[in-house]
């Protein structure tokens, strides 16, 4: 089950954020460059929930994934040579897609991306885009396997606290 999150779900989303951040802090090199207390936070999730763009995925009463799906393209997206052009209202963007570490290796990331594509089509979008750090090997491999085209990379000043190179992907829907 994948559905829009509501206020009662924010603790579950925050628990997924915490699990990912704990895993990232234990690694010698971070895949995401996310930082506890800066991004992602419960406040980010709350804002997305209020905008009806925060999604939560679960199975058998346990939550395993979350993401934000909207049309917000970061300013740095203007630097990317996108092949698939569309008016801004026809572009969907996946943000902060994550699978709880306890559920990794079970195809849940692919399931979330497939849902994002289906929901974007339902909303009348013709292109879907996303970004991920260049060093996030698992995500970069997954998006390529799922038919996403690497459109380019650029330095982003993510959330105003970290400079990083993000690979930007696109797919025609």
What CATH number does the domain containing 85 carry?
A: 3.40.630.30
Domain with 34, as residue range(s), is: 2-172
**Residue 170: CA count within 13 A, CB half-sphere:** 18
Share of the chain above pLDDT 70, in %: 99
Which segments of 40-136 does DSSP mark as H helices, in order? Answer: 42-50, 108-122
The number of distinct structural domains making up the chain is 1
pTM: 0.94
Instruction: Give the pLDDT score at 28.
Output: 79
Average pLDDT over every residue of 59-63: 94
Over range 97-103, report the average pLDDT.
Answer: 96
pLDDT at res. 24: 87
Mean pLDDT of 83-103: 97
């Amino acid at each position: 089950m994948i559905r829009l999150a509501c206020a009662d779900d924010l603790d579950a989303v925050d628990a997924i954020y915490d699990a990912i951040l704990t895993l990232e802090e234990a690694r010698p090199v971070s895949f995401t460059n996310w930082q506890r207390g800066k991004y992602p936070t419960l406040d980010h999730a709350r804002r997305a929930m209020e905008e009806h763009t925060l999604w939560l995925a679960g199975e058998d009463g346990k939550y395993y994934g979350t993401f934000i799906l909207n049309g917000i393209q970061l300013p740095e997206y203007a630097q990317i040579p996108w092949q698939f052009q569309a008016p801004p209202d026809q572009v969907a963007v996946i943000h902060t897609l994550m699978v709880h570490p306890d559920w990794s290796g079970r195809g849940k990331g692919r399931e979330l991306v497939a849902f994002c594509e289906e929901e974007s089509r339902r909303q009348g979008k013709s292109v879907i885009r996303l970004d991920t750090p260049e060093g996030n090997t698992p995500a970069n491999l997954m998006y390529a396997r799922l038919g996403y085209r690497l459109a380019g990379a650029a330095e982003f000043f993510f959330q105003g606290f970290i400079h990083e190179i993000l690979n930007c992907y696109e797919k025609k829907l």
